[in-house]
Amino acid sequence: MPKQGYGGPLERIDDCCWRIPRDYKAGMRVEGRIFADDRLMEHIRADQAPEQVANVAFLPGVQTASLAMPDIHWGYGFCIGGVAATDPLEGGVISPGGVGYDINCGVRLLRTNLFRTDVQPRIEQLMNALYRGIPAGVGTGGPFLFDRNELRRLMTDGVSYLAARGWATPEDIEHTEAGGCIDGARPEFVGDKAIKRGGDQCGTLGSGNHFLEVQVVDEVFDEPAARTMGLNENQICVMIHSGSRGLGYQVCDDSLAALRKAPARYGIELPDRQLACAPVHSDEGQEYLGAMRAAANYAWANRQLLMWQTRELMGEFFGRPWESLEMELIYDVAHNIAKMEEHDMEGEKRLLCVHRKGATRAFPAGHPEVPSRYQQIGQPVIIPGDMGRASWVLVGLPGAMKKTFGTTCHGAGRVMSRSAAIKHAQGRRIDRELAEQGIIAKCRHWKGLAEEQPEAYKDVSVVVDVVHRAGLAGKVARLRPLGVVKG
């Protein structure tokens, strides 16, 4: 993360939105917009991420504005929290920097019929069982092994392929974004190295900011929406955050190498080579989209298998089948993805390529892609926070469709680099500090907890408050951590 801050213009639009004017840099096709309030602007100005918002505005075919959510921080190409929609009919491009290395990193939330009093007295034993049973850590493989042909089917069909193997229910598929499978996946565009890395990593947590967390519903803000989701105060939930593991990382790495010279071939001038891109309808663009979609389907399968293992482990721990614990999936959302979506552009329906880099889809009530259970309230939006404070459940609102192409924030957003966090943790025991708060943290290495300490992040409740007031997503419930497993 760059040390220097942003010195360019930021003009207030309203209490929750700021503008980078189009004339800030010659070549910007649209303005930049950052959703934030005064509490967050101090962090945002201290980072170079707003410069990346301005740079994204150079992309051919970009529509309305280059956008950033309140969890904005420096990333590769796009900032984390960056959103951009391009129109292929206007030469719109696809950029791997607008998706990220961890393709379809995302989060899912399960509810249970357990309550705090059922779990709190045994939380340490439960976290020990989950820690032993859930594969986690850099490069770690798991119990699910797929050969090359099986991987190709999994990358084509996503969670539906697992259902055929008995590892997913119809309800799991219905309550996963895109049904756990984005159309147009082209596994033949996924390289051998990526295939090799993915063979034993589906159903593994990984490392970094990925986690499995046992949580309790701390407060409900929207009773009707919470009731529709099956959430009640003091109820136990499980949140799982992971992505496409080494397979997705390799797909991104390979694609960036393949696209390095594409902008010059198509006469595209960019202020940052990390924004390497190609027109959506070009051969290069279609190849990246096909490989990215395959990795996205792998990621949905990964989170599904992590959930399946969690169900079985908790069923074993509590001595009854997971079905009797009512461990049902509320929803699963993608954070790093580009999707072709229909949006209303001044009264005209247009098919746009929407990049969401560290950002969450937030479709409102009545949208055809919202599952039937949630048609009256809107798509569930799941926003994880740091392991010491809180996470949130929200619903998409109509304002998101008008302002952000149906998008909201994806988390708290870092304020401290991983190296700075490790330095800040010297001489401390993060696990003991969390234990004093009643939170049991398990990790393969002390550096994992040091990198992810609460101080490394913005307060997610402040971030969520901004998107709530901006009308992008509405608060439903706050969840507090009881125990966490990190890689």
Residue found under tokens 């799941």: 382
Alpha carbons 336 and 105: distance in angstroms, whole number: 6
Which runs of E-coded beta strand occur in 172-315? Answer: 211-220, 235-242, 278-279
> What crossing angle do the helices spanning 283-318 and 245-259 adopt, rounded to 10°?
170
Alpha carbons 178 and 357: distance in angstroms, whole number: 17
Alpha carbons 235 and 232: distance in angstroms, whole number: 6
Q: Which of 175, 410, 424, 468 is catalytic?
A: 410
The set of residues, in sequence order, having a beta carbon less than 8 Å from that of 419 and lying 6+ positions away, is: none
The set of residues, in sequence order, having a beta carbon less than 8 Å from that of 347 and lying 6+ positions away, is: none
The long-range contacts involving 428-434, CB below 8 angstroms and separated by at least 24 positions, are 433/388, 434/387, 434/388, 434/484
- How many angstroms from the chain centroid is the CA of residue 79? 13
For residue 332, the cross-strand partners are 108, 176
The HSE-up count of residue 421 (CA atoms within 13 Å, CB side) is: 21
Q: Tell me which residue of 210, 222, 472, 211 sits closest to 361, measured CA to CA.
A: 472
Pairing status of strand 391-396 against strand 106-115: unpaired
117 phi, psi to nearest 5 deg: -65, -25
Alpha carbons 477 and 221: distance in angstroms, whole number: 6
With beta carbons less than 8 A apart as the criterion, state whether 385 and 392 touch. Answer: yes
Return the ∠ at Cα 299 (arms to 181 and 451), rounded to 5°: 150
Return the ∠ at Cα 102 (arms to 487 and 261), rounded to 5°: 145
With beta carbons less than 8 A apart as the criterion, state whether 330 and 380 touch. Answer: yes
Catalytic status, residue 410:
yes
Q: Which residues are catalytic?
A: 410
